[in-house]
Amino acid sequence: MTPTKSLTATPPSIASLRQAIAGRATTATAVTEAALARIAEADPAIHAFLSVDATLARAQAAHVDQLAAAGAPLPPLAGVPFGIKDVLTLEGAPATAGSKILEGYHPPYTCTAVKKLADAGAVFLGKLNCDEFAMGSSNENSAYGPVHNPHDPGRVPGGSSGGSAAAVASGMVTATLGTDTGGSIRQPASFCGVVGVLPTYGRVSRYGLIAFASSLDRIGPFAANVRDAATVLGVIAGHDPMDATSSPLPVPDYTADLDKGVRGMKLGVPSEYFADGLDAEVRAAIESGIEKLRAAGAEIVPISLPHTRYAIPTYYVIATAEASSNLARFDGVRYGFRAPKSDTLAAMYRRTRDLGFGAEVKRRILLGTYVLSHGYYDAYYRKAQQVRRLLADDFLAAFRQVDAILTPTAPTPAFRLGEKSDDPVAMYLADIYTVTASLAGICGISVPCGQSRSGLPIGMQILGPHFGEAAVFRVAQAVETQR
């Protein structure tokens, strides 16, 4: 049985668009108008976009068409329709981070990753819906309403980058940018049946990202196929003097080895990711994908990541502690929402933050403030940082044995809207397979690997060592080819 009312569509690939525009078989303007029409048709039922800027998109497309008409070399993303998660700034465009507290905010600067896309010829259709301040696993925490999964609008698209995943899965754009703090690219990619990339921490500049947890936040691409995702990462990666945590290591051509296959590669399968709690259909799809990789010539190696069971509590101590610090700046004084009718400065602070933040953001601020408070810092925050080191060491040891690690991306396919809204712990456990890589700073990808009996997508997560994106893309391409 397949889900009813599917709104999915496969967008044209980056290479096909660029070739068609360069060959004058079409124009960037025509591609843009088709994307705007698709948004008008599909987005009322999906709600992936928080804002659409047709004027900017048409101007960017016209510039690409001028280059093509002059016979000039086209940049790598010439005319490609993009959407940008609304935690990433674009000068003059709204940047709400999915929160009422930033309603009406128009930043005076552009995120480095977004600027790199623009310089590469991308066409920006608009800003994409997300969980408030990227805090959530279902995209139900947005102050502007939830995003609906294009495969089944009664289900969540995953979070926090649900709008980014859904926009690609519904064919409204060819690629998008999202952010991943504990799984917010990989999990929605799995739920929506698209490719989502977690770059190594420091591989992509975070300048212009509205921060949730600064030691965990990363910017990465969504696309309908592995090659497009690799192409986009190659554009946005690289050192940025505006971000002291960005790496100076050179950026390789991530598409160069895509078709080499997996013969001779050692791929680890951790027992901890196949324990109780894993949906039977997800297990079957992942195990089938692993066997196909074995048949393609990979050596499958059983491994152990023994501290995995501590990942969720560790993550929710560190991430909330950093969130409580980062979100202290939203006080109604300098920008964004300010509560009316407050007689004193303290009352204005309290009222602004009470009315401006949603329930999940408040929950995390309170938890983070608690674990950083006097008398609890050592017991919680310091201990969590120590366990984080152990989790990272697990991966370092594993990558001395294998080239990449294969796991499920999420324990279940997409769940129904509202199904976990009243149970925060159940919602947090949706990230059980993704937070480990976030804490360790390593890279990863979610690639479609099968479907449930009801037609819902299932994603395989492929994890690689620090700056091992090329190997991860190579394995992901083999999974995509074998599917």
From CA 129, how far away is CA 237, in angstroms rounded? 23
Cis geometry, peptide bond prior to residue 160 (ω within 30 degrees of 0): yes
Q: Which is catalytic among the residues 13, 85, 142, 205?
A: 85
Of 13, 99, 142, 160, the catalytic one is 160
Identify which of 125, 41, 114 has the alpha carbon closest to the alpha carbon of residue 79. 125
To the query of whether residue 190 is one of the catalytic residues in this protein, the response is no
Q: Per DSSP, which regions of 192-238 are E strands?
A: 195-198, 218-223
Closest CA to 135 of 110, 100, 99: 99
- Token code pair at residue 70: 């002059």
Q: Cα separation of 291 and 321, whole Å?
A: 41
Tokens representing 278 are: 């894993």
Task: Give me the residues paired with residue 459 across strands.
Answer: 448
Q: From the candidates 184, 247, 324, 452, give the one annotated as an active-site residue.
A: 184
List, as one string, the DSSP characters of 225-293: SHHHHHHHHHHHBS--TT-TTS--SPPP-TTTTGGG-STT-EEEEEGGGGSTT--HHHHHHHHHHHHHH
Sheet holding 457-464, edge to edge: 49-52, 123-128, 81-85, 175-180, 218-223, 195-198, 443-451, 457-464, 404-408, 266-270, 299-303
Find where tokens 């980062």 sit.
326
Catalytic-residue membership of 446: no
* Residue 377 contacts residue 371 (beta carbons within 8 Å): yes
383 is known as an active-site residue: no
Q: Where do the DSSP E strands lie in 399-469?
A: 404-408, 443-451, 457-464
Contact predicate 151/169, CB 8 Å: yes
Integer angstrom CA distances of residue 314 from 62, 180, 200, 438: 49, 17, 19, 11
Token reading at 112: 């480095």
Residue in the structure block whose two tokens are 């004193």: 344
Q: Which are the catalytic amino acids?
A: 85, 160, 184
